[in-house]
Amino acid sequence: MLASCRLADDRLDEARSLSNEAIRLAENAGDQFTQSLARRSLAECLARTGAVKDLHEASDLMLSAIAMQEEIGAKPELGRSYVSLAEIARMTGDDVDFGHSLGQAMRLFTDLNMCWDIARASQFRPQMRTINPSSAA
């Protein structure tokens, strides 16, 4: 997805715009899989700001992406979404949600023998609070 590429290049405004457009198009087409990926991408854009308000919105978007992926059985992407949700929880300092989300991801990755994803998810650690205090609203 192009939005994820823009996000990887730190082009947040473009990534956010592309994610919103992808959500709209996927909703119109009734494509839950693409919609879930676009929601995850938008959530990851919002999380990058570190603003408290954006982190809450990112969490809500990620939870809706997870619900869609559970419904359609998109297990590899479901695991990746749980990793993203764990990252958001880590940013807010919520060690309980961090552990739960990362545990969910690791179970899925292990069940599916997703070695690369297991290695990536194994690198995350809790208690790395990165909220931007000047953005609290």
pLDDT (tens digit, 9 = 90+) per residue, 32-61?
A: 999 999 999 999 999 998 899 999 999 999
**Does 131 map to a domain?**
no
- Answer yes or no: is pLDDT of 137 > 60: no
Distance CA 43, CA 60 (A): 8
The total number of structural domains in the chain stands at 1
Q: Is the pTM of this model over 0.75?
A: yes
Is 99 within the bounds of a domain?
A: yes
CB 73 within 8 A of CB 51: no
pLDDT in tens, 78-96: 999 999 999 999 999 999 9
Residue 84 lies in a domain: yes
10 inside domain: yes
Which tops the pLDDT comparison, 85 or 134?
85
Per-residue pLDDT tens digits for 95-124: 999 999 999 999 999 999 999 999 999 998
Structural domain for 54, as ranges: 2-126
Q: Is residue 137 part of a domain?
A: no
CA distance linking residue 96 with residue 98, whole number of Å: 5
Evaluate whether residue 132 is within a structural domain: no
CATH number, domain with residue 81: 1.25.40.10
